Amino acid sequence: MANSIKNLVLISLAFLFLPWLPTGCANAQAGDILTDKAVLAELGKLNDKKFSKDDVCIKRLKESAKVVVIGLKGEDSVCRYNGVFVGSLYLKKDSIETSKTALRSLGWEKANEQARQKLAKLWVEKVLFAFSAKSNQTFQAVSLDNDGIKVIVSLQFPPGVTGRNAPKIFVFDKDGNLSAASGY
C-alpha cells in the first residue's frame, strides 16, 4: 500500500512538472560534439537512426564554439537547417526554445541594443540561412520599440532580372524568442 501511494505521488509530481519541460530539446553528453564524427553519433542516438556525412551538413560558428548548426540533406541532396547543438543541448528547428536558448548562450541577456542586433543578425545569417547561398542576400538588423530586434533579409538581383521573393523578416522579442518570421 505504501509503495502504491509513493508511486502515485511520483506520477502526480511528474505530470505537475511536465508542462515546464522544453519541447524539441535533447541532451547530448558533455563534450560529445567536439568532432563531426561525434556529432553524427549524437544525432544517431537522439533520432534512433544512423547518420553519415552523406546525410548531414555540419557548420560550426566561428563566433562561438558552443554552437553547431545541423542540416539534413533531402532527396535532392540540398542541405536544410534542422537544428542546432548549443553546448550539449540539441534544439530542433521548430522548438520554441531554440533561438532563445542559443542567443542566451551567446550573451543576449546582458547585451546592449547594438550587440543584440549583431546577435540576431548572426542567428539569421549563420544558423537559419546556414545552408543557403548568400551571394545575393543582405542581412540588416534594426531595433524595435518593444526592445525586440527585426532582421530583414533582402535578395538582390542583377539588372534586368526580376525578383520572385519579397524580403524575409524575422522578429526576435526582448528575451531572444523568434516571435515572428515571414517569407521563410
Residue 51 CB partners (closer than 8 Å, separation 6+) = 40, 43, 44
What is the H or E stretch that residue 5 is in? helix 2-17
Alpha carbons 70 and 67: distance in angstroms, whole number: 10
Which pLDDT belongs to residue 22?
A: 35
The grid coordinates of residue 34 equal 567536439
* pLDDT tens, per residue, the chain with 184 residues: 444 444 333 333 333 332 333 335 555 544 567 888 989 999 998 888 898 899 999 999 998 888 999 999 988 888 999 999 998 889 998 887 899 999 999 999 999 999 999 999 999 999 999 998 766 788 999 999 989 999 999 877 666 666 666 788 999 999 999 998 886 6
